[in-house]
A and B are shown apart, each in its own frame.
Chain A
């Protein structure tokens, strides 16, 4: 089991460019999440998908869109990147029922110039 995988590991963008961050899990989890982590701010939820075919906004959704492509994959898109979106992005997943454990991917470091 690879767990949660994310691509790319690192990306540099210019202001206004677009990109998609990819996430996949092989644990047959129903729920998937996108977080950003900034110094002094902890992890903040951007969007989540409770199950295939559904997505909902989290704490900081502005400037982002998501797609739950299938049960395994959940992508995050920045349509017009801004320097304020410079951050480390983590994808996570868990079963909807039972324990609240979320399993995290290794992260994508994004720098917007």
Chain B
């Protein structure tokens, strides 16, 4: 079993839809949780960062962490075609030992 599980999709939604992306994990020591966005043939870029449990909102993006269930989510409101990318969850127990999910490919259709 992988330490971090992420549904690879692909996920296709119409413009304006609410998108929900999720990851589950098995290592209870993880305390730093991140979402990265990766456009085709580019490096990942940090989208959201959360420490421990709770919610964090940034514009149209909301990240949720439920450590009791070992489950994290990223919600995208009013999705736009420019949101079409692969979304990677990542988490770590300490700075230099990050584990990534396989990534979910999202397409937002105009």
Which residues of A are in contact with B by a Cβ distance under 8 Å? 4, 31, 33, 40-45, 48, 50, 56, 58-59, 90, 92, 94, 96, 99-107
Q: Let me know if A4 and B92 touch, CB within 8 A.
A: no
B88 interface residue, CB < 8 Å from A? yes
Q: Quick one: closest A residue to B34, CB to CB?
A: A100
Q: Quick one: closest B residue to A56, CB to CB?
A: B96
B8, B95, B98: which contacts A40 (Cβ < 8 A)? Answer: B8
Q: Let me know if B100 and A104 touch, CB within 8 A.
A: no
Q: Let me know if B4 and A42 touch, CB within 8 A.
A: yes
Chain B residue total in the interface (Cβ 8 A)? 25
Question: A42-B6, A56-B96, A102-B98 given. 16 additional CB < 8 A pairs?
Answer: A41-B102, A42-B100, A42-B101, A42-B102, A43-B88, A43-B90, A50-B95, A59-B99, A99-B49, A100-B32, A100-B95, A102-B46, A104-B36, A106-B43, A107-B41, A107-B42
A103 to B49 alpha-carbon distance, docked (Å): 13
| Contact residues, B91-110 vs A (CB, 8 A) | 92, 95-103
Q: Let me know if B97 and A42 touch, CB within 8 A.
A: no
A102 to B36 alpha-carbon distance, docked (Å): 10
Which residues of B are in contact with A by a Cβ distance under 8 Å? 4, 6, 8, 32, 34, 36, 41-46, 49, 88, 90, 92, 95-103
Q: Quick one: closest B residue to A9, CB to CB?
A: B41
Q: Let me know if A31 and B100 touch, CB within 8 A.
A: no
Q: Let me know if B102 and A40 touch, CB within 8 A.
A: yes
A94 to B83 alpha-carbon distance, docked (Å): 25
Which one of B45, B90, B98 has the highest number of Cβ atoms from chain A below 10 Å of its Cβ? Answer: B98
Q: Let me know if B98 and A90 touch, CB within 8 A.
A: no
Q: Let me know if A100 and B49 touch, CB within 8 A.
A: yes
